[in-house]
Amino acid sequence: MRRARSLAIVNPAAGKGLGAKLVATLAAELARSGLSVDVVKSPAPGEGARLASHAVEDGYEQVIAVGGDGTAMEVANGLVGTDTALALYPIGSGNDFSRALGYPRGRKRFGAFLASARARRIDVGEVNGRVFLNAAGVGIDGYVAERVLAAARVVGPTLGYFVGALVGIATYRPRQMRIVIDGQVREGPHMMLAACNGTYFGSGMRVAPNAKLDDGMFDVIVGGDLGRWASVVALGKIYRGSHVDGKKIIAIRATSLDVELPEALTMQADGEVERTSGLRIRMRPRSLTVLAR
């Protein structure tokens, strides 16, 4: 059987520097699983999309994003709408998208997984003109994401997300938002708003337990004017996916979401953060091919 032409795009900063080491060793590692892969290092943040786009032009049939969720999102921006498949070599801090696709946890198993993975067409989201894979939102999730980056370096990714969430609950208060979800308007103070394509974010938090990657819909999770104690209780439930109560925290299936903010707040898309005064989120159904279980 003919082998697919594959290019690995490596984020050298991922995995506490593991990515930089893999630039020299990854081709040989994957060759042991019968894979023939060319390897290129991403020269700077944001360059993954450009490299992936060039890979499509050069005739590569698969592009492997070597890094975390942010790296996968970058590479996907260069592949969306094409027939070139996105594969993952997840070595980031969260790896929530790879979890949703059934990738193994242990690095030694990645090669065998990729060698037997199947192509699957999935949905992606678009926020303010940029593609995301897993989830995008504003409120406490963006605020926490800023703090997780520092905490994860000290205590590791999973505990880092939990610590970051606790710090966020202790210091963040609901902000005024005007939200339009598929034409329906909600206004008032909100703790969080997340458009979820996948089930997980925050290194295993089941924020959208019923979300599916190929159903053409977001699961929009809306957290209203929660107090600190209610937020702590919700944090305890979110890892089980039992935090949606239909009252203070609700889930709405939708394809579009617009948010107006009276002040600039931190948003996150697949764990990458930036400040914004508004969000325009749209569903792009079945527009990306991925290699998955």
Residue-range domain boundaries for the chain: 6-116, 132-286
Mean pLDDT to the nearest integer, 185-206 = 91
With a pLDDT cut of 70, the percent of the chain lying above it is 95
Mean pLDDT of 259-270: 94
DSSP category for residue 174: -
Q: What would the CATH number be for the domain defined by 6-116? A: 3.40.50.10330
The label of the residue with tokens 């892969």 reads 37
Please tell me the predicted confidence (pLDDT) of residue 152.
63
**Nearest one of 82, 86, 103 to 94, comparing CA atoms:** 103
Q: Specify whether the CB–CB gap between 123 and 115 falls below 8 A.
A: no
Fold agreement between 6-116 and 132-286? no
Of 43, 34, 92, the closest CA to residue 65 belongs to 92
Is residue 157 over pLDDT 80? no
Give the pLDDT band (50/70/90) at residue 1.
Answer: very low
Domain topology for 132-286: Tumour Suppressor Smad4 (2.60.200)
Pairing of strands 192-196, 135-139: antiparallel
